[in-house]
Amino acid sequence: MLPARARRPALAALAFAAAAAAAGASSLATEPAEPRAPQRLSETGLYGPDGRLAATVERFVPQYPLWTDGARKSRFVQLPPGARIDVSDVDAWRFPTGTKVWKEFAWGERKVETRFIWKATDDGWVFATYVWNDAQTEAVLAPEAGLRNAHEIAPGKRHSIPAVDDCLACHGLAPSPVLGFSALQLSDDRDPLAPHAEPLPPGALTLRALVAQDRLRPRRPEWATTPPRIRERDPVARAALGYLSANCGGCHNDRGPLARLGLVLLHDVARDGERDAPEPARATAVGAAGRYVMPGLAPDDSRLVAPGDPGRSALLHRLGSRRPSSQMPPLGSVVADAEAVALVRAWIASLPVAHASR
């Protein structure tokens, strides 16, 4: 469970319709009506009557995909007609009421779940997950507690459908509750070394398209000509820090409850125009001591990122661990991302050892 301070009012209207609702719990009849997710995915507006993607729904592809045990993902968004996203805070987008976002998870050709986020009221978001049937014709609302071990993804490894608190743990700590739909993630300056990068399908919604369609307020025309990117000259560093921003920055940022730790991995678009502004991950992790001490090392020898020495770098160790006591991120996967681990190891190995004096 998240601490009470992390349960922001804008995220209080979570609806993973509980099994009690399906059973017709009488107590619900006396409670004030709140927006709830439909019982079936087909009722959310993702598809039209012919089973095809609805005409008002658009596909998008973040340049740094979130790792979920090798799942193939498809992402969709529906913005209300004529409404615009408030990007006055470039690092914390505010979405218009009525916004809907879907993310579909598949292993091989089998769709397993589709997650749904809906800004149902001016100050409330509805979160839901739908589980696909064996015939792959429909997905139904998951119970509030999620579904453990719902699908085998590898021998002895199974994917679980998230619970309500799991949704809050990811979406409730980030500057914006919609992950993967941001200035950096939609940037047209795509990182060719981004782990698990997906090609842009025809008509995919990008930052340039949002500017051209006048769907941002303020308009931000500079994003069409000089799109955001990780502030690193070295390609390996750019890809490694982009991966950490997407996969770890939702929690490790300078605005949420974990800001007190001092580890900031989320890219800050607001500083892109500053000369020589360092990436937050470089500024806060390289050479810094952390609370987690690498196994077998004295506290003074362990570093979040030890320049030139992956073996003393706690960040790398936790990224590659799937032990509950050390795994990072703590939710969402049961298999370590080997490609990302190799990339981050290469980045750490390339860092000048002189930084170690920090």
Coil, strand or helix at 351: coil
What is the average per-residue pLDDT within 153-162? Answer: 93
**Given this model, what pLDDT does residue 304 score?**
98
Structural element, H or E, at residue 77 = strand 72-78
Residue-wise pLDDT tens digits, 273-326: 999 999 999 999 999 999 999 999 999 999 999 999 999 999 999 999 999 999
Q: What is the pTM of this model?
A: 0.88
Tokens of 241: 């820090």
**Given this model, what pLDDT does residue 289 score?**
95
d(C-alpha 100, C-alpha 178), whole Å: 10
d(C-alpha 100, C-alpha 19), whole Å: 23
d(C-alpha 118, C-alpha 98), whole Å: 7
Residue-wise pLDDT tens digits, 168-200: 777 877 889 899 999 999 999 999 999 999 999
pLDDT-derived band at 354 (thresholds 50, 70, 90) equals: low
Residue-wise pLDDT tens digits, 195-246: 999 999 999 999 999 999 999 999 999 999 999 999 999 999 999 999 999 9
**Given this model, what pLDDT does residue 12 score?**
32
Residue-wise pLDDT tens digits, 93-137: 999 999 999 999 999 999 999 999 999 999 889 999 999 999 999
CA distances from 16 to 39, 123, 164, 236, 271 (A): 9, 18, 7, 40, 37
Q: Are 308 and 353 in contact (CB under 8 A)?
A: yes
Domain boundaries of the chain, sorted by first residue: 4-229, 231-358
